[in-house]
Amino acid sequence: MLCFVAPKLKIYFFPLDSSLEAFAGSFVGESGYVDGPAAKSLFNRPQSLSICDNGAVFVADTRNLAIRKISKFLPTVTTIAGGSSRKPGFAGDTARFSSEFSLACSCGSLLIADCGNRLIREIQIDDPKSCDSSDSAVSGDFSSFTWIFFLSIGFKTPAFC
């Protein structure tokens, strides 16, 4: 079993019977917004992590207003939604998040509680074009990135495990 920890700028993982190892993000305390190899990627206040069944890790990068994916095999960081303004859009490439959002992976979907915009959103991640067991980035049709409710809600995500 692995635990993931996301303090401020970097994401760590560790097996319960082992020591802490850096997994993605800045290794010198630098914040930013860079996709690519996990060791060279930059985050700014990753707040929430969720792991889907195929091992991909999804991160709520709150100060960058983005949802990022870390691939399972060759650790690579890719932005799958958001990344700019706080006004809510509803398609994946135009989706906008507030600075308060969390996520959870369940039953082939990534659920996003976007508290500042008072929305719960869903991305279907069981689509083989968007989240498979390979090292590929998320791609494909994001029309399944939809508005579900209009209310304020958040997922409670523990800091460890």
User: Which residue ranges make up each domain of the chain?
Assistant: 2-150
Q: Check residues 88 and 149 and name the one with the higher pLDDT.
A: 88
Using the predicted structure, report yes or no on whether residue 142 has a pLDDT greater than 50. no
Q: Is the dihedral of CA 53, 35, 82, 27 positive or negative?
A: positive
At residue 153, the pLDDT reads: 35
Give the separation between CA 3 and CA 22, rounded to whole angstroms.
Answer: 12
Burial (CB < 10 A; 0-12, 13-18, 19+), residue 50, is: buried
pTM over 0.75: no
Count CB-CB contacts under 10 A for residue 47.
Answer: 18
Please tell me the CATH superfamily of domain 2-150, with its number.
TolB, C-terminal domain (2.120.10.30)
At residue 123, the pLDDT reads: 80
Interacting residues of 94 by C-beta distance below 8 A, sequence separation 6+: none
With bands split at pLDDT 50, 70 and 90, how would you rate the model's confidence at 8? Answer: low
Contact 31, 42 (CB under 8 A): yes
With bands split at pLDDT 50, 70 and 90, how would you rate the model's confidence at 1? Answer: very low
Using the predicted structure, report yes or no on whether residue 20 has a pLDDT greater than 60. no
- Reported as a single tens digit per residue, the pLDDT across 106-116 is 777 888 887 77
With bands split at pLDDT 50, 70 and 90, how would you rate the model's confidence at 24? Answer: confident
Interacting residues of 33 by C-beta distance below 8 A, sequence separation 6+: 42, 43, 44, 61, 64, 66, 83
- Reported as a single tens digit per residue, the pLDDT across 61-118 is 888 888 888 887 778 888 888 776 544 555 555 567 776 777 888 777 888 887 777 7
Question: DSSP letter string over 75-124?
Answer: -EEEEEEE-S-SS---STTT----S-EEEEEETTEEEEEETTTTEEEEEE
With bands split at pLDDT 50, 70 and 90, how would you rate the model's confidence at 51? Answer: confident
Structure tokens at 13: 């993982």
